[in-house]
A and B are shown apart, each in its own frame.
Chain A
Amino acid sequence: MTARRLVVVGNGMAARRLLEELLARAPRRYRITVVGDEPGAGYNRVMLSPLLAGATGEDAIVTHPAGWYRGHGIRLISGTPVTAIDRCRRQVFTGAGHRLGYDRLVLATGAAPRRLALPGADLRGVLSFRDLADTRRLQGLTPGDLVVVGGGFLGLEAAEALLRRGHRVTLVHGRDHLLNQQLDATAGARLRADLEARGLRFVLNHRPAALEDDGHGAVAAVRLDDGTRLPARAVIQAVGIEPRVDVARQCGLALGNSGVRVDDTLQTFDPRVYAVGECVEHRGRTFGLVAPLYHQARVCAGHLAEQGLERYHFEGAATRLKIGGIDLLSAGDFRGGEGDQVITLHDPAGGYRRLVLRDQRLVGMVLYGDVADGPFYETLWREGRDLSALRLKLPFGEAACAPSRPAAAEEAAA
């Protein structure tokens, strides 16, 4: 059987995982071409924060050098975007003028940082933190006042890394606590206090109203909705990401509210075209964490290998992160709703845990500071076990919940 042609649009983490999974299943099934708009080979995007903080170097974050593609017979076209797709002729066009025919096509175009919609958002010095190029730009800033807008993961990681580079960093967040998508108010307050202790400054409950021009087209300050002026040599916008769907839209694939609509096999409206990663919208849901991306890549690879029995279902990955050395874990419906039962365990100088139970089953949680029991709770959460028998011990983690060991003969030994 002659090898069929597979084109992968995008060279991010989802795309590379897909390639690995596919090579493992059907190494010679396809002649593969990968088109990535970033120059160079494959790196670990998750490591950009340590890179920015100076904790690691660029070489160390490269996971897939050019030789890897060569070694697997993959043609890598990098540094140029895909500009169009002709699904009737099954051809992909790149900005550099390539025309690539395909039998199967995978869209892994990822997501782009959302931009501030403010007066002055287009000034010089209004930056994002998404890719290696952004990171290099941020590394090039001379020490001074910076403002990070957005108290989500990306904003916090950027702010913390920039602080380590010697900047005075103020983070502006429009909600009343940090990481409000992942943490409850208590954990959010703990995080704020811990980061303040490291030197970060925060303005919560306020949004930027405008960015001020220094008179030469560069940003000079952030003006908040209450009129406060925060001087800023640069402003880093970290207010979320949006799936990149330009080519999908151009070629007429069905879109959901924001991403490329796929079914449980990661197939798009067009049976020859699959999509994985942050550009995807599956059952109304978009994705920003690496674990579901890898899961999608595995399912998709199985189908491309024509051994596809697996279907993708969102498993609800726990968000595990480390910001400035502080461990966090958030999962599920950590806020809890009407009728849900909330258990909190708080050591003001140690860990904080919030567990949400519904019908005696764990449906959500926040762990702050001490996430050693994270895998234990994730298991309980996935399994949906009835936890009534463990009620009191539950917040104390796996060791406390283990069946009590047979009574020790300590007294006898004493």
Chain B
Amino acid sequence: MNPGAEPLTKTTCPYCGVGCGMLTDGARLRGDGDHPANAGRLCVKGSSVLDTLGEHGRLLYPRIGQRRVSWDLALDEVAGRFRRVIEEHGPEAVAFYVSGQLLTEDYYVANKLMKGFLGGANIDTNSRLCMSSAVAAHKRAFGEDVVPGCYQDLELADLVVLTGSNTAWAHPIVYQRLAAAKKRRPAMKVVVIDPRRTATCDLADLHLAIRPGQDVALFNGLLRWLHDHDALDRDYIDAHTRDFQAALDAAGDQPLAGLARRLGLPAADLGTFYQWFAETPRTVTLFSQGINQARNGTDQGNAIINAHLATGRVGRPGAGPFSITGQPNAMGGREVGGLANQLAVHLDLEDAAHRAAVADFWGAPALPAEPGLMAVDLFQAVADGRIKAIWILATNPVDSMPEADRVRAALEACDTVVVSDCMADTDTLACADIALPALGWGEKDGTVTNSERCVSRQPAFLPAPGEARPDWWALCRVAERLGYGAAFDYAGPADIFREYASMTGLARRFGKQLDLSAAGDLSDHQYQRWAPRAWPLDGGARCFGDGRFSTADGRARFVACAPPPAPDTNHRRPLLLNSGRLRDQWHTMTRTGRAPALFSHRDEPFVDMHPRRAAREGLEEGGFVRVRGDASEALARVRLDRGLGEDQLFMPMHWSDCFSGRARVDALVPARTDPVSGQPAFKHTPVAVAPWRPAWHGVMLGAGAAPEVDYWARIPLDREMALDRYVLAGGDPLDPARFQDWLPAAAQWLTLDDPAAGHYRRAGLDGEGRLVAWLALAPTPPALDADWLTRAFREPVDAAGRARLLLGDGGDGGADRGAVICTCYQVREATLREAVAGGADSVAALGRRCRAGTNCGSCIPELKAFLA
């Protein structure tokens, strides 16, 4: 940093649950070398977060219906409607649906308002879709929702088991810490358990391509194997746990060979894994959505924890089960009680003593004694009309819920839907009766907790755009209008944090680990300068290392885990669809969708499948596939991937109706949930596939909205000009004239017409000779040099080169250079192939030749694939 330049603000990345520290002022950005999570590194999403800022596409003013209104009017309307519904139908008829994107302070206020004052428990969160199975597993085993370990354990471990986690893409910085540790200590072993061969397998000494949904059988088998090979820690089991025998009995005693067959694994590999696990005291099992998002997600979590309890490997340096969260503040939400079946600060609704303590602390008139509805049931209740008013904050359930089309229908039919969001064009906002403009990252002020319980600040360093306000502020103003002003009279987030931190003293009183009470009297200044710290504030980096747990008797519980259910594919739906994150995208793209560079890795919605499966179904790379589930249908591109089983598919979770016509994977997912956690089974959707062969393909630039065609995908090209590339395809006969409806007016239209070949191109120019619209229609996908065309939207094109605009490339004939592999330096496949042909034989050599992989390193697994 230049001496004398403005100091950078310390903040926390808004993306995944790793929770990396950042230094920024909105123009400059770098990793925070002092933050314990990342020590200065950032992944590609984090590195490009500044590209997602700006007023374009933001929701700037409150509105009722389509009418812009004042905040006062909007808040009066929200309060009035909620009051009427509660008066007429009781507190069970209102709901909040919140998000792991909220800051802890916002979350705390929402939970306090619903459970403490409105008197209902219908506040659930998108963390239900993400982490609730891990929460339930933690509570069953430990008596509290606690991740015992910390990231450092991954570096200290001698064996790291990654299961249900494409860590390389979903949690890149944790993955890179692991990769660096393994490089330092090559003896360290990494086992990846995943039906897919993902980028994470790059690091694996052993990849167990297990059949989907069979993790309980694998870990039950491990428990039995440890028992049979005398590898249990009997002393630990006796001193610190209960119910071991029941768990062992439930684990069955299938011989290794039979079990391996059932799991779809070579028996030798399975035996190797069990052997390694048995002989490695320092073992961490890191698990994520592949474990949580299943019909038996909670059992899957407990089966993992069982193996760790049985070997005494919990909360010790380099040893423990490690649930890694998806969202930046899923943990914070869990702490404050933002799930329908929690109360607050790790206390339980069903426990009268807990309720009394909380009611007393809040001065709350009426606390519900029953859990509220969990997400899937909550939206079902909206559909049934049992819930008549819902306030959705910072989340996009129309895309992210299972049977998402039914969620949309439910919201459209609901009397009162309030949506607080920072973006103006989410699929959920389209259902809102009242829309409230929220602050985004960099504007809002508060704290988040990452996967290792580390509480970090996200301060405001940018002005609020338009009339956007903090969510806590909006919640408090509604509370005030409903007559609870005294309990919601916060001066700012520091005030809320102090109250929350003090409240965690209750948790400690009931024997919980959650304890931030030492921060209950922070000054505003101290709050502003809060350095990242893990809870319990007065404890070490790990919990339960002493064998004392948060249960009444201090002992952990083994949980008897039933064998996994058989896959529910059938002859009509013979394939299992898995879903997950991409390396460069986040959730429903409401944020990453603003950064064009993040589309260069994958730009259109797709379905991965094995080449043999594709051949059998008549599908080919880059072609279109219809994916039919019981709930809905999707249309996406085919990508061939030998890393999948032949009866499996993978589809990214990110595409919403804002980015493609029919690619919301969650619309396909049936609303089946884990019986304990209520978490939907996103990972195993029975589907069928069929090819779709369009009559024509197209590309459109400059359109203000997606055209009504069978297939479209929107790919942002330039943020400042709000320029998008629409990729189009249709099955109907082509009528080039109708596309004019979606293109802007132009001073002049350049045209290419070749009706016999089916080629039509249009380039619209303004008076200065700048492109304002571009359209190509053809029987095969039109090629274009998007960068070159984008420049023509910015700079006038001289008359001589103008006709060439229709060709869509500036000189190299539109040669397809392939996907961008290194997003940081925009290095494409062709460049990498050339570098390899030119003698680059290592990742380092590739980096020297074309810089690929030398910034964030997220692409290194893919770079290795080029060298293979």
Residues of A near any B CB (own CB < 8 A): 341-351, 357, 370, 391-393, 395-396, 399-400, 402, 404-405, 407-409, 411-412, 414
Contact = CB atoms under 8 A, between A and B. Distances in A.
A370 B802 CA distance: 12
Contact of B812 (A391, A407, A411): A407
Contacts of B754: 341-344, 391-392, 395
Contact of B806 (A345, A405, A412, A414): A345
B749 interface: yes
Nearest to B833: A407
A27 to B, nearest CB: 47
Contact of B778 (A348, A392, A402, A411): A392
Given A344-B752, A347-B750, A391-B757, A396 B812 contact: no
Contacts of A391: 754, 757, 759
A380 B814 CA distance: 22
B748 A396 contact: no
B621 to A, nearest CB: 20
A393 B826 CA distance: 27
Closest 8 pairs between A and B when the two form their complex, measured CB to CB: A404-B813, A341-B756, A343-B754, A412-B850, A411-B831, A396-B807, A347-B750, A346-B751
Interface string B741-757: 00000001111111111
A189 to B, nearest CB: 14
A349 B748 CA distance: 8
8 contacts: A343-B757, A346-B752, A347-B803, A348-B748, A348-B749, A391-B754, A407-B817, A407-B830
B804 interface: yes
Contact of B815 (A345, A407, A409): A407
A344 B762 CA distance: 12
Contacts of B849: 412
Nearest to B757: A391
A393 B782 CA distance: 12
A315 B494 CA distance: 89
Contact of B807 (A349, A350, A393, A402): A393
Contacts of B815: 404, 407
Given A396-B804, A407-B834, A349 B799 contact: yes
A396 B751 contact: no
Given A347-B802, A348-B749, A409 B807 contact: no
B813 A409 contact: no
B828 interface: yes
A341 B826 contact: no
A342 B752 contact: no
Contacts of B750: 345-348, 350
Given A350-B802, A402-B813, 12 more contacts: A341-B755, A342-B755, A346-B750, A391-B759, A396-B807, A407-B815, A408-B812, A409-B831, A412-B834, A412-B835, A412-B850, A414-B826
**Which of B749, B754, B817, B827 counts the most chain A CB atoms within 10 A?**
B754
Given A345-B751, A392-B757, A404-B812, A350 B835 contact: no
Nearest to A407: B830
A197 to B, nearest CB: 16
A404 to B, nearest CB: 3
A306 to B, nearest CB: 51
Nearest to A391: B757
Contacts of B778: 392
A131 B406 CA distance: 85
Interface of A: prevailing SS:
loop
A343 B752 contact: yes
A351 B803 contact: yes
A392 B759 contact: yes
A412 B812 contact: no
Contacts of B826: 411, 414
Given A346-B751, A396-B807, A400-B807, A405 B757 contact: no
Contacts of A392: 754, 757, 759, 778, 807
B813 A393 contact: yes
Contacts of B835: 412
B799 A411 contact: no
Contacts of A343: 752-754, 757, 759
Nearest to B776: A392
A345 B751 CA distance: 6
Contacts of B813: 393, 400, 402, 404
A342 B825 CA distance: 43
Interface string B823-848: 00111101100110000000000000
A341 B754 CA distance: 8
Given A407-B834, A411-B831, A412-B849, A345 B803 contact: yes
Contacts of B831: 407, 409, 411-412
B712 to A, nearest CB: 22
Contacts of A346: 750-752
Nearest to A346: B751
Contacts of A404: 812-815
Contacts of B806: 345, 396
Contacts of A347: 748, 750, 799, 802-803
Contacts of A342: 753-756
Contacts of B830: 407
A355 B788 CA distance: 27
A345 B752 CA distance: 4
Interface string B778-813: 100000000000000000000100111011000111
Contacts of A370: 803
**Which of A346, A402, A412 counts the most chain B CB atoms within 10 A?**
A412
Nearest to B814: A404
B657 to A, nearest CB: 32
Contacts of B753: 342-344
Contacts of B807: 392-393, 396, 400
Interface string B382-422: 00000000000000000000000000000000000000000
Nearest to A340: B756
Interface in B580-614: none
Contacts of B757: 341, 343, 391-392
Contacts of A407: 812, 815, 817, 830-831, 834
Nearest to A405: B812
**Which of A347, A350, A393 counts the most chain B CB atoms within 10 A?**
A347
**Which of B748, B803, B812 counts the most chain A CB atoms within 10 A?**
B803
A411 B751 contact: no
Contacts of B811: 399
B812 to A, nearest CB: 5
Given A345-B752, A346-B750, A395-B752, A411 B827 contact: yes
B406 to A, nearest CB: 44
Contacts of A350: 750, 799, 802-803
Given A344-B753, A346-B751, A348-B748, A400 B804 contact: yes
A395 B808 CA distance: 13
B631 to A, nearest CB: 41
Nearest to A343: B754
A343 B756 CA distance: 8
Nearest to B809: A400
Nearest to B822: A411
Interface string B359-372: 00000000000000
Nearest to A408: B812
A177 to B, nearest CB: 18
Contacts of B803: 345, 347, 350-351, 370, 396
Contacts of B751: 344-346
B761 to A, nearest CB: 9
A346 to B, nearest CB: 5
Contacts of A411: 817, 825-828, 831, 850
Contacts of B825: 411, 414
Interface string B715-751: 0000000000000000000000000000000001111
**Which of B813, B828, B831 counts the most chain A CB atoms within 10 A?**
B813
B823 to A, nearest CB: 13
Interface string B617-660: 00000000000000000000000000000000000000000000
